[in-house]
Amino acid sequence: MESTLTAVYRCVAALDVHQAKLTVCILYETDTGNIVTEIREFGGFKRDRREMAAWVASFHPELVVMESTGIYWKSPYAALAWYGLNLAVVNARHVKQVPGRKTDIADAQWLAILVRSGLLRGGFVPSPRGIVIVRAGINNAVLRIRMRQERIIRTREGKLQNFHSRQTELVPQSNHIRCDDAQIFCQDGQAAQS
């Protein structure tokens, strides 16, 4: 399959990312035109990600791709970004449509072949600074909405209290007059003169 695809990049790296393991495939063309594949597996710990990023950066790849499997791509992405590499996160659904590729090594190789041929497009990955700016904007909007709600509630409470006080002024208080068997009694219990 690799020989029938036209190469767009001379050196690429592809990562198959899992929770506890990273499989990395480097695919590059030598000066003589030979295509060399180097594959390594790394653990999922921070020191392993740093080692992986240093190893990948030593090849100076033109593009590094990885699948967007859950949240597991974020830590390797950050480790590779520290080296200033050109990174792309691709949709795993677009890559997994090929039958027969069931191992992590085969997945990483297949990713490398596809990216070397320019057949994969990276998705949008916001910068950490962009995320901070968006979160601040959302938090400010939520704060403004809550303040507006509180202001409306206070205004409505004041109007309700004002309405209630006006209504109680119009209705006689029950402790002054009470009705009992069609006779009106005053507060002292004596029958009122009619």
DSSP string, the chain: -GGGSPPS-SEEEEEEE-SSEEEEEEEEE-TTS-EEEEEEEEESSHHHHHHHHHHHHTT--SEEEEE--TTTTHHHHHHHHTTT--EEEE-HHHHTTSTT--SHHHHHHHHHHHHHTT---------HHHHHHHHHHHHHHHHHHHHHHHHHHHHHHHHHHHHHHHHHHHSPPTTT-EEETTEEE-TTSPBPP-
Domain count, the chain: 2
Same domain, 43 and 78: yes
Same domain, 78 and 150: no
pLDDT, the chain, mean: 78
Same domain, 59 and 134: no
pTM for the predicted model, two decimal places: 0.60
Percent of the chain with pLDDT over 90: 17
Same domain, 28 and 107: yes
In a domain, 190, yes or no: no
Same domain, 115 and 179: no
In a domain, 191, yes or no: no
Same domain, 110 and 134: no
Structure confidence by residue, pLDDT tens digits, 134-182? 778 888 888 999 888 888 888 877 776 776 676 666 655 555 555 544 4
Give the residue numbers spanning the domain of 118: 2-124
Domain's final residue, options 92, 124, 156? 124
